[in-house]
Every structure is written in structure tokens, then in C-alpha cells.
Amino acid sequence: MNRINSPALHDRQRQMGDADGVRPYRGASLSHGASLTSAASLATASAAATRDPLRVLHILPSLDPRMGGVAEAVVQLVRHMTPFGCTSEVATLDAPDGPAFDRVDAPVHRLGPGRGFYGLSLPLVRWLRANRARFDAFVVHGIWQFHSFAAWSGVIGSRTPLFVFPHGMLDPWFQYTYPKKHLKKRIYWALLEQWVFNRADRVLFTCETELELARRPFLGQRHRLAVNGFGIDSVPNDDEVPAHAFSDAFPEVRNKRVMLFLSRIHEKKGCDLLIDAFADVAALDRDLCLAIAGPGEPALLERLKSLAASRGIAERIVWTGMLGGALKWSALRTAEVFVLPSHQENFGIAVVEAMASRTPVIITNKVNIWREIEASGGGWVCDDTRESVADALRRWALDTTADARDAMRDTALACYERHFRIETAARHLVSSVSLVSSSRKR
């Protein structure tokens, strides 16, 4: 397997932590740590918890779980900002008479539907301007749709702080892969999106790799960038998840060595690489089984299933569709290893969920948290090529013993505990809002 060496930690000394508890970007060197908590962060969060609650409005296109990581980020942050003295509300472009997506522990204002691809919604702008005085900050989640410009329109002319969480949407991978779409983004940036970032009090990133990549296409020295971190909540206890729920639902995986892909099925996720790589190693052990879980466009699913049939492994792959609740957690715990061969992945919530479930991971170096995972030993890292992915699967299938795999389960859990707990990210965001809001009020 082609392993990637992490950069030396001492090439340049990084100044860590400013008063708001997030790590400002100060150069090109990277460290393995996710957001490390400074004494200033703890002090600020403690002060926030003892005064009147902060009020934060989270703004995003939709809470539909099919939208992936952005919706889940808001659900998680809202829940875990509360203990640090923060009351949240959510504004979306979901239709008032549409599905409620009742997953978030906060009032939800459904101000859509937006018109067209970008979700144009003047009612959203009017609502934001009418209600901005109630909030200590607006936090925009995701960009390239009208909700971000609406947030700028909502705060312009006021002292309401504005934070932007791009969630990987500034990654230059999109520039190289979809040049026509990138040209449209360039135009949209020049006309609208740049004003959002120029007004932002902070542009927040889930990890340092995301921040580094985001600088290339659009951001400059004038933008105040910081690593806020991200993570997930604790996973359900063993007694909350039936041990055999996944194998009961899909008997094909029973008594098999399950390699699990669980994510949205999209061309950037490298599912074609995974199928080809699995075909290269499937004959090595008849007990190997690949489970592909997640929603996807029917046309893409058909192409992938045709690829599996052409490689003679159609009977060795289990297609589960989207998994949720106890069935999802059972799948993660049943798997011997979790595999995500993405060409681009900002954070990879499912990767962290796997490690929190004591399941080691195999990921590419295009998943932005690869440095933290490789350094901690929670998984293996390879290139996003068929050969490199196949080499990783081959090594896992042939060169690891049952004892070694069991030891890696403990290491994967330790990686989650150290780097990817949502409480740390929530505390950092509350600290940032508290500091900026206080300074605006002085």
C-alpha cells in the first residue's frame, strides 16, 4: 500500500490558539491535531455558560438527511452548543408544507422553497432582516446557494456577527474535475459570494487540511480563517443496538469478513475504484464480502452494478440502500473494516462514525482528516487509484491477523476520542461567537 508520510511537525512553529478558542491560520505547516483546546477557549466557554445564553441562528439550504454532511453538522452542533450556554434556532429553505425533517433540537424556520437551482428566496432575506436583532450571530453552513448571500443581506447595515462554515465547498478538486461548473462559481463569487466572505467575522473549517485547500481558489489575506474542528456525538451503547440487526436484515453478510462502504453514492466517492479493487482481491478469500450502503442516483447505481457484474463479483456485493438508526450502527460494528476511497472528502462523518464504533478505516489521502487518522493509527491511508486501493484491501485481507485487527479496533476508538468529539467543536464555536459578539457590543 502506498502510505503517505505526514509533514514534519517542527518545520515551522505554529502559534496556537487566539482568545476565541479556535486556531487561526498562520502559515502552511500542518499538525496532526484537530482543534486543540486552549486555556483561553475554556475560559471563554465557561464565561458564556454563566451569563445570559447566547442566541445563534444557523442558516443552511435544508435539513433533509439526504443532503449529507451539512445538515448533520447543524444537527450535531445545535445539540452540543446548548451545554455551553448557547440557544440555537435554524433557518432553512425547506418548504413550510414539506417534510419536517424533525431531527434538530431547536426551533426551525422553514422559509422556502427557494426558486431555481440557487434557491432564490426573498422571504428568507426579509425574515433575516426582521429577526437579526434577536441573535448574537448568524452562522452560514455551506455556500454556493442563495442562503449564504441571504445571510449577508440579512446582516448588512447591522452589527450582527457573521460566521461562514464552508464544509469543504471551497476544495479545488471541484475546480479541476468540473471546470465548467467552476467557471460558474467564479462568476457567482465575483457577483455575490465574495461579499459574504468579506463581511464574515470568521471563516471556519473542520480541519487544517480543509483550510489549506480552501485558500487556493478564492480566499486571500483579508479573510479571517480559523480551524474550528468538527466531530460526532457518542455512538449508541452495545445494549441499544441489536448485535445481529445488520446480518438479520441482509443474511448475505452473515459469517463473512465484511468490508463496508457507507456514504452517499456519488462519483467523487470512488465507488468504481472500490468495486474494481475488491474484484482484484475477492478471490484471495471466499469469506470476503463488500457491502455498499447509501443512497445514489439510479443511473449511477446501474453503472456500478454493471461494473460489478462485468468483473464477476456481483454475488459478492450487497447493496443495502440508505441505512439509518440501529441498522446503520449494527452495520458499522459488523464490518471488519470501513472503506472510503474518495477523490474528495471534506470531513467524512461516516469515517468518524466507524472509528467511534471501533471499526478501523481505509481511506484515501483525499479525505481531509487523513493526517489525524494516519498519525493515530486508527486506519490506513492510500492514494485514490485502483492500484493503491486494491493494495490496501489485499494487505488487510492477507497480512493482518485476527489479533491485529482486534487491536486496531481499540486504536480506531482512541483516534475518535482524541480528535473527533463534537463537544470540542461546539465549545470552540460558542467561544468564537461569545468573543466577537462581546466586542461588537462594546
Which percentage of the chain shows pLDDT scores above 90?
Answer: 66
- What secondary structure letter does DSSP report for 190? I
Q: Can you give the pLDDT at residue 214?
A: 86
> Can you tell me the distance from the alpha carbon of 270 to that of 420, in angstroms, rounded to the nearest whole number?
24
Q: Mean pLDDT lowest for which of 57-71, 194-208, 347-361?
A: 57-71
Strand partners for 90: 58, 108
> Can you tell me the distance from the alpha carbon of 324 to that of 350, in angstroms, rounded to the nearest whole number?
12
Cβ contacts of residue 385 below 8 Å, gap of 6+?
273
Helix ranges restricted to H, 293-367: 298-310, 325-334, 349-356
Is it the case that residue 200 has pLDDT exceeding 90? yes
Are the C-beta atoms of 1 and 341 separated by less than 8 Å? no
In CATH, the architecture of 238-419 is 3-Layer(aba) Sandwich (3.40)
Q: Can you give the pLDDT at residue 174?
A: 66
Q: C-alpha distances in angstroms, 441 versus 5, 18, 153, 278, 438? A: 46, 20, 20, 58, 5
Is-cis flag, bond preceding 113, omega within 30? yes
Amino acid at 166: P
Cβ contacts of residue 77 below 8 Å, gap of 6+?
58, 88, 422, 425, 426, 429
> Can you tell me the distance from the alpha carbon of 151 to that of 141, in angstroms, rounded to the nearest whole number?
10
Number of neighbours of residue 442 by Cβ within 10 angstroms = 4
Q: Can you give the pLDDT at residue 192?
A: 87
Mean pLDDT of 218-237: 89
Helix ranges restricted to H, 132-282: 146-155, 173-177, 179-188, 194-199, 208-214, 245-249, 271-281
Is it the case that residue 27 has pLDDT exceeding 70? no
CATH 3.40.630.10 describes domain 23-42+50-231+421-441: no
Are the C-beta atoms of 374 and 259 separated by less than 8 Å? no
Q: How confident is the model at residue 175 (pLDDT cuts 50, 70, 90)?
A: low
pLDDT digits (tens, 9 = 90+) for 337-380: 999 999 989 888 899 999 999 999 999 999 999 999 999 999 99
Q: What are the domain boundaries of the chain? A: 23-42+50-231+421-441, 238-419
Q: Is 157 left (phi over 0), alpha (psi -120 to 50) or beta?
A: left
| pTM (predicted TM-score) | 0.76
Number of neighbours of residue 255 by Cβ within 10 angstroms = 9
**Domain pair 23-42+50-231+421-441 / 238-419, same fold:** yes
Is it the case that residue 414 has pLDDT exceeding 80? yes
Angle at 17 between CA 13 and CA 22, to 5 degrees: 130
Q: Can you give the pLDDT at residue 248?
A: 96
Mean pLDDT of all residues belonging to the chain: 86
Higher pLDDT residue, 337 or 438? Answer: 337
Number of neighbours of residue 287 by Cβ within 10 angstroms = 11
Distance, CA of 305 to chain centre = 27
